[in-house]
């Protein structure tokens, strides 16, 4: 075991990370987005989406078989994003892998220079395109965070065996402020922070008032000083998408006034209104104390992200004003 004990890194070691970490630690407003890998043996779609986002985001999430549908792996997509000049956040879910495979994938991410990992439980296979697949869930998201921190900060596997050299990446997790019971969501975030999460991306925020109340609880616990919170946002580009968000995704709260606004315009203007609404939500979120940035989810509509950010008063990304943090890899 390396020095440092179970609650912190060994002396002289520093967590990894790259541009996203530098942005967050500089105190400037960060922007991340999301790229879903293709259903096919090609990285060209990732390169094309990265080209759209390169100048507008600090990093992009590469999803891990999103919604339990088989796609190109998150580590392969992360390498493709890096090759296209965009910093990746490699998502890792516990749904499909036991602790041996999870630790192996995390080691591989470190060896290949992937600077950020986002650790989560993932959707059950019954919701995906292989509903009869056997779920694994050997670890939950908090246990995976704890495992990854031991690997990075103390150079140890769960078995106790030593890693030489240990991996170095910036560690993130997810949280849903609106999932019941809502009164315990900030405390649950605290468990993830204690396990090692350095940044958090939330589920979609359409109820800004409700999100502000959750952030007040986060601040009361002092979690905003220990972890960077990025609010999840995204455009609603059709009434079908609105129905799906209202009734098909657990824990997403779309207030009545948002639904009325989108249903009150002609069908051919819903996408435009949804973009405008998303930009307004980002503007309101920026005023909430403790919010470090936004995570823009516009699956299959990445080309609209620059327009949304421009509407919110966020221009192309420059390098953070204060360089800092460790090297990637």
| Pairwise CA distance, residues 185 & 178, whole Å | 8
Decide if 323 is inside a domain: no
Q: What is the pLDDT of residue 9?
A: 42
Structure tokens at 150: 């031991």
| Pairwise CA distance, residues 88 & 117, whole Å | 8
Decide if 178 is inside a domain: yes
Q: What is the pLDDT of residue 1?
A: 28
Q: Which residue has the tokens 């630690």?
A: 25
Q: What is the pLDDT of residue 44?
A: 95
Q: What is the pLDDT of residue 251?
A: 82
Q: Which residue has the tokens 């970490």?
A: 21
Decide if 14 is inside a domain: no
pTM, 2 dp: 0.90
Q: What is the pLDDT of residue 316?
A: 94
Question: What are the C-alpha distances in Å from 216 to residues 6, 100, 182, 206, 211?
Answer: 29, 39, 13, 17, 9
Decide if 318 is inside a domain: no
As averages over each run of 10 residues, the pLDDT of the chain (329 residues) reads: 37 64 96 92 95 96 81 93 96 94 96 96 69 84 97 96 96 94 90 97 96 97 97 95 88 93 95 97 98 94 94 87 41
Decide if 155 is inside a domain: yes
CATH number of the domain that residue 142 is part of:
3.20.20.220
Decide if 65 is inside a domain: yes
Decide if 321 is inside a domain: no
Tell me which residue range forms the domain holding 68: 19-311
Residue 293: closest CA among 32, 19, 16, 17: 32
| Pairwise CA distance, residues 114 & 328, whole Å | 7
Cβ-based neighbours of 145, under 8 Å, separated by 6 or more: 119, 171, 173, 192, 195, 196, 197
| Pairwise CA distance, residues 289 & 180, whole Å | 23
| Number of domains making up the chain | 1
Residue 285: closest CA among 313, 260, 318: 313
| Pairwise CA distance, residues 174 & 291, whole Å | 14
Decide if 175 is inside a domain: yes
Q: What is the pLDDT of residue 17?
A: 74
Cβ-based neighbours of 327, under 8 Å, separated by 6 or more: 16, 18, 168
């Amino acid at each position: 075991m390396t020095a440092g004990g179970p609650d912190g890194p060994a002396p002289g070691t520093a967590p990894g990370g790259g541009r996203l970490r530098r942005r967050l630690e500089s105190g400037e407003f960060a922007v991340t987005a999301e790229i879903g890998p293709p259903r096919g043996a090609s990285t060209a779609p990732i390169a094309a989406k990265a080209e759209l986002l390169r100048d507008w985001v600090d990093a992009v999430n590469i999803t891990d078989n999103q919604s339990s549908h088989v796609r190109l792996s998150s580590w392969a997509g992360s390498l493709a994003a890096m090759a296209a000049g965009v910093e990746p956040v490699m998502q890792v879910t516990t749904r499909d892998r036991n602790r041996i495979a999870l630790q192996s994938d995390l080691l591989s991410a470190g060896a290949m220079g992937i600077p950020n990992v986002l650790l989560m439980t993932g959707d059950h296979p019954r919701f995906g395109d292989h509903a009869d697949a056997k779920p694994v869930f050997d670890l939950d998201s908090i246990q995976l965070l704890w495992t990854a921190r031991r690997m990075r900060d103390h150079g140890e596997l769960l078995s106790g065996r030593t890693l030489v050299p240990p991996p170095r990446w910036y560690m993130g997790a997810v949280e849903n402020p609106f999932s019941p019971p809502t009164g315990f969501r900030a405390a649950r975030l605290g468990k993830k922070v204690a396990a090692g999460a350095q940044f958090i991306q939330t589920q979609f925020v359409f109820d800004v008032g409700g999100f502000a109340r959750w952030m007040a609880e986060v601040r009361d616990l002092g979690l905003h000083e220990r972890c960077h919170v990025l609010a999840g946002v995204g455009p609603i580009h059709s009434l079908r998408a609105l129905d799906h968000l209202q009734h098909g995704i657990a824990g997403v709260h779309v207030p009545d006034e948002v639904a009325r606004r989108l249903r009150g315009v002609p069908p051919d203007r819903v996408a435009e209104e949804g973009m405008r609404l998303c930009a307004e939500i980002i503007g309101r979120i920026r005023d909430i104390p403790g919010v470090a940035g936004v995570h823009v989810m516009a699956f299959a509509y990445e080309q609209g992200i620059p327009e949304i950010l421009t509407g919110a008063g966020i221009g192309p990304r420059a390098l953070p004003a204060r360089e800092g943090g460790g090297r990637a890899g």
